[in-house]
Structure 1
Amino acid sequence: MATLIDRASGLGPGASPEYRELIERWERKAEAAPVRRDKGSGAADRTISDVPLKPLYGPADVAQLDLTRDLGAPGEFPYTRGIHPTMYRSRLWTMRQFAGFGNAKQTNERYHFLLSQGQMGLSVAFDMPTLMGYDSDSPKALGEVGKCGVAIDSIRDMETLFDGIDLGAITTSMTINGPAAIALAQYIVTAENKGIPRAALGGTIQADILKEYIAQKEWIFPPRPHVRIIIDMMEFCTREMPKWNTISVSGYHIREAGSTAAQELAFTLADGFAYVEGAIARGLDVDAFAPRLSFFFNSHSDFFEEIAKFRAARRIYARRMRDVYGAKDPRSWQLRFHTQTAGCSATAQQPENNIVRVAYEAMAAVLGGTQSLHTNSMDEVLALPTEKSVEIALRTQQVLAYETNVTNVVDPLGGSYYVEALTAEIERQALDYFDRIAEFGGMIEAVEAGYPQREIADASYRYQRSIESGDRVIVGVNAFEKPDEVQSPDLLKIGVEIERGQARAVQDVRAGRDGSAVEASLAALKRACAGDANVMPALIECVRNVATEGEIVDAMVEVYGRYVEQTQF
């Protein structure tokens, strides 16, 4: 039977007498120490994702670790320690704050403010009607215009959004999935109207529709035609936009829906591999498109688990891209990702505590080797962030980058018994999920069967129960509460006049354009959707003729239909 020493410290039979004596002395002290009985002590033996933990890790816990096979060096396969040789010693991560609210003019003003404060790239948040493919004057948009992001109805809004910003000199990320191809077409036409060729544009569009069916639920078409559109985008960008990241495969929303760290990792990578397989089936060379794939992860509150997750993600991705999909270019093996601190960890109670949470989550992302980072604002759980709270969030990154010295050493936690053991365990769990997904026939089939949705729901339930039972402490919520607290922070409010003004604006756009050109371009789009032609050129022509997003979506729905989710529970 394993002794407490073997179980707790990872001390194996090859340990020296001196080290064994040292650990035996620790064992006696540990066994004599009192057991915690306070609130939250019930979670001391497992991570936030229920990975079992020992009180101490040692050499035996990494006995299977092969330094060349599993760790390598930074910038070398399998990239566990980072995708660049010197990481942040050469270049800091991109500080890319997510922003969008109201109309395009208001959001443009926020972008200019953020850039003046040292932000390095733009990240667009769209409102719900835009994300779902409805124009602002649609009855289905009522009450939602500009509330959770910026309203973009046509090329005219996109032009206003980036007024005074050199799109050839800055990178832009757009978080939009269902109508992603339309948003990309709008961005291309906006740049070309400024004299900037599409080949010069740098940035990312999320476009990850599979995670919408799994977690965020912002879809338009059924899965298979939607994936076809994504492959069209990948093909188009590979040929015409060499600096553009054609898709950002997103685990962020999977985690926000309640998944564990291993589920976030497994389902995100499985989604990404489904797109890789689709592009290869289209006839694209994996090394022609893989270097422009990017990923988007959540950084939750379990500090070491998040670091381990990021390290495991790089290792799994590198091996799979090389050994399964036959990529030969080392750039195709490198997992590049953006990170956002966990919105689901923020609390409405004592919102200033969110500043502290975000700082730790941001540090975990940096120690995990992220390429860009968004830090949430303290008031986002209550409303769209104010300018002041956005500034604090950005300053959090700047303090991390310039004052903590965590950028001085590459992968400083590499070799930690605990971190390496946890990295291997999360990798093992993710690979187990790959096996189960394969039993369904692939990720699209698994999504259609509701498998990842059910797994996430079960994990979310377990986590919520741990909070309600007091096993896990959430400061200000189930411990250290302030029952008489009065919430009175300054909040950003989007008034009804924004919605009314945006509705009038899109109606004015329709009245002032060439209607026959719009109808002709929409007809051409429907023919492209019904056939095998790449839809991107037809979408660009629709945008150029000032067709609205809602009109474009309606034309495509005539061919593909709208998706209706099947009940899983």
Structure 2
Amino acid sequence: MAAEVRIQEAEIRQAQRRWQEAIRDAPQRRPRFETPSGIPLEPLYTPADVEIDYLRDLGFPGEFPFTRGIYRTMYRGRLWTMRQYAGYATAEESNRRYRYLLAQGQTGLSVAFDLPTQLGYDADHPMAHGEVGRVGVSICSLEDMRRLLDGIPLDRVSLSMTINAPAAILLAMVLALAREQGVDWKQLRGTVQNDILKEYVARGLYIFPPEPSMRLAVDVMAFCHRHVPNWNPISISGYHIREAGATAVQEVAFTFAHALEYVRAAARTGLSIDDIGPQLSFFFNAHNHFLEEVAKFRAARRLWARLARDRLGATRPEAMMLRFHVQTGGSTLTAQQPENNIIRVTIQALAAILGGCQSLHTNAMDEALWLPTEKSARVALRTQQILAYESGVADTIDPLAGSYVIEHLTAEIERRAREEIDRIEAMGGALRAIETGYIQRAIAESAYQAQQAIESGEQIIVGVNAFQIEEERPELERLKVDPAIEEAQRARLQALRARRDGERVSALLSRIEEAARRPEEPLMPLFVEAVAADATLGEICGVLRRVWGEYQPPEVL
């Protein structure tokens, strides 16, 4: 049989060479074709271009190496979670949006916080002026969290929070609220992003230096492993790395380099990959090159399974599964002809689904202009629902498997990502690569090359550098955030501080300060106790700033 396959491949290659010779002088749209990651694309692919050992490289859904999906029945058993990212202005306004989206068929919540919250400042801090409620909801205390999640059953709705530097404190608020409502922590399902490494290389919303930041991240992982077993204590994010300008290959490689760093840090506290692997989640981007994106997700799943088994020593299948959320590419959206973004988002969402995501957010068409309105958020959600219920793509598992070009790109992305991970490992790991600026420089170089391609016209962006029209500001409904929100939030904080037990709060903040000075001391139990006593986010972060200081990034360009 093997001999017959080799003879057939030789015949195919011979016929392919004849065909290529016949088209040698045929006109082509451009001199070379390649993916955004720089992977060359041949005119077509045949079985001779793809070297696959089916059982080793593909296998079956729910079985190692999980190339074809992490669950045996995938979407035939259960569709992906439709989780729209939302949050703005006050807790009440955001709560109304969450209720609206749930009523429209959304199946999970994803909370966007404003910049002061993400940087650990209360709304009345001078650094928060002008930013309260602007790009997300302002959450300063358990009282705010109570209003944000009012009427939302924490034991039945999956909750995701995009928060990193102060992630432990926001999670503590959710846990304190659950306890207050009589919800067993074992019933809670959701995710806290808690990925500080990508903040240093791509997003910039860090507070503390790497060492204490890693301590906080691992503390959350350990606490959830012991007390909140159905919660994902970290979502290791390639999304923001891609938004900063990385290629698809770099997105996978840098994300997994960070993941290796987190797992090894957890191992130093006694947690093995088999302990925490089943609670790890990942967060990827979906961009416009449909074929590369589908292959990227499949390659990532296979690569992580092999890294978890071969480098981290995982023995449990659940610890080797790559469970990931996808958000469509914010940086691909255009302010010009914004209705075109609906098409872009549909292509990206389809790639994520065909790539086997577990959870998906689809961007709204107006996000390059302002915060999404109810209508644009609904259209984005309807995009997922039409793909789920009308397109048929969820009715069979991994439908593009066996496509010559998809399998070629899947193998090539895995190979290139592994080589990049090996370079980082040779430097001493992701933390060392961040300290030296290696990852930051690599992302910046890729971003520069991508921008050059757009400016030269090599990369067409419809409505931006081609097919432009004369247009004024689009006549779309616009969501506005009232400036009075900041003053109202300040007033709430003042009233909270006046009525709480100030002595108890001071004592708890002192205990947090003492614990922060002892590297082995767990902080999560103290955070839960402090927020339950109405200590604020800014007060707790202020204590940690005094002990640990603030991170100053290196010059990398």
**TM-score for both structures, normalised by structure 1:** 0.95
Q: Aligned-pair distance for 1:17?
A: 8.5
Q: Aligned-pair distance for 1:538?
A: 0.9
SS at match of 2:110: strand
1:35 aligns with 2:23: no
In structure 1, the residue matched to 2:511 is 524
Tell whether the 8 Å contact from 2:139 to 2:145 is kept in structure 1 after alignment.
yes
1:335 aligns with 2:322: yes
Matches within 5 A, 1:129-168: 129-168=116-155
In 2: Cα distance, 1:266 partner to 1:437 partner: 9
Instruction: Give the total of aligned pairs.
Output: 552
In 1: Cα distance, 2:17 partner to 2:164 partner: 56
1:429 aligns with 2:416: yes
Q: Aligned-pair distance for 1:20?
A: 6.1
1:193 aligns with 2:180: yes
Q: Aligned-pair distance for 1:527?
A: 1.3
Q: Aligned-pair distance for 1:199?
A: 2.0
Q: Aligned-pair distance for 1:528?
A: 1.3
1:553 aligns with 2:546: no
SS at match of 2:283: strand
RMSD: 1.5
1:300 aligns with 2:293: no
Among 101, 105, 112, which residue is 1:114 paired with? Answer: 101
SS at match of 1:248: strand
In 1: Cα distance, 2:13 partner to 2:50 partner: 17
In 1: Cα distance, 2:423 partner to 2:483 partner: 48
Q: Aligned-pair distance for 1:22?
A: 5.6
In structure 1, the residue matched to 2:438 is 451
SS at match of 1:282: coil
In structure 2, the residue matched to 1:466 is 453
1:480 aligns with 2:467: yes
Q: Aligned-pair distance for 1:29?
A: 4.8
The one-letter code sitting in structure 1 at the alignment partner of 2:440 is Q
In structure 2, the residue matched to 1:363 is 350
Q: Aligned-pair distance for 1:326?
A: 1.5
Matches within 5 A, 1:160-559: 160-531=147-518, 532-559=520-547
The one-letter code sitting in structure 2 at the alignment partner of 1:365 is A
In 2: Cα distance, 1:486 partner to 1:317 partner: 45
Q: Aligned-pair distance for 1:28?
A: 5.2
The one-letter code sitting in structure 1 at the alignment partner of 2:496 is V
In 1: Cα distance, 2:58 partner to 2:522 partner: 41
The one-letter code sitting in structure 1 at the alignment partner of 2:47 is P
The one-letter code sitting in structure 2 at the alignment partner of 1:190 is L
CA displacement 1:418-446 (0-9 Å, x = unmatched): 11111111111111111211222111111
In 1: Cα distance, 2:13 partner to 2:214 partner: 57
In structure 1, the residue matched to 2:89 is 102
Tell whether the 8 Å contact from 2:87 to 2:94 is kept in structure 1 after alignment.
yes
In 1: Cα distance, 2:249 partner to 2:47 partner: 24
1:60 aligns with 2:53: no
CA displacement 1:305-364 (0-9 Å, x = unmatched): 111111111111111111222211110010000000000000000000000000000000
Q: Aligned-pair distance for 1:198?
A: 1.7
In 1: Cα distance, 2:545 partner to 2:299 partner: 39
Q: Aligned-pair distance for 1:13?
A: 7.5
Q: Aligned-pair distance for 1:86?
A: 1.7
SS at match of 1:31: coil
SS at match of 1:501: helix
SS at match of 2:24: helix
In 1: Cα distance, 2:199 partner to 2:461 partner: 28
Tell whether the 8 Å contact from 2:263 to 2:272 is kept in structure 1 after alignment.
no
CA displacement 1:524-560 (0-9 Å, x = unmatched): 1111111121110111111011011110000011111
CA separation of 1:284 and 1:21: change in aligned 2, threshold 3 A: closer
Q: Aligned-pair distance for 1:34?
A: 2.1
- More displaced 10-residue stretch of structure 1: 190-199 or 458-467: 190-199
In 2: Cα distance, 1:187 partner to 1:486 partner: 40
CA separation of 1:235 and 1:173: change in aligned 2, threshold 3 A: same
1:75 aligns with 2:68: no
SS at match of 2:23: helix
CA separation of 1:74 and 1:504: change in aligned 2, threshold 3 A: same
The one-letter code sitting in structure 2 at the alignment partner of 1:117 is Q
The one-letter code sitting in structure 2 at the alignment partner of 1:551 is E
In 1: Cα distance, 2:235 partner to 2:128 partner: 26
Among 31, 46, 61, which residue is 2:34 paired with? Answer: 46
CA displacement 1:165-223 (0-9 Å, x = unmatched): 11011110000001000000001011111111222211000000000001000001001
SS at match of 2:183: coil
Q: Aligned-pair distance for 1:281?
A: 1.1
In 1: Cα distance, 2:324 partner to 2:50 partner: 27
Tell whether the 8 Å contact from 2:9 to 2:48 is kept in structure 1 after alignment.
no
In structure 2, the residue matched to 1:7 is none
Structure 1 gap segments, 5+ residues each: 1-11
CA displacement 1:57-97 (0-9 Å, x = unmatched): 1122213x211111111111000111111211111000000
Structure 2 gap segments, 5+ residues each: none
In 1: Cα distance, 2:12 partner to 2:227 partner: 61
SS at match of 2:268: helix
The one-letter code sitting in structure 1 at the alignment partner of 2:462 is V
CA displacement 1:382-439 (0-9 Å, x = unmatched): 1110000000000000000001100111111111111111111111111111121122
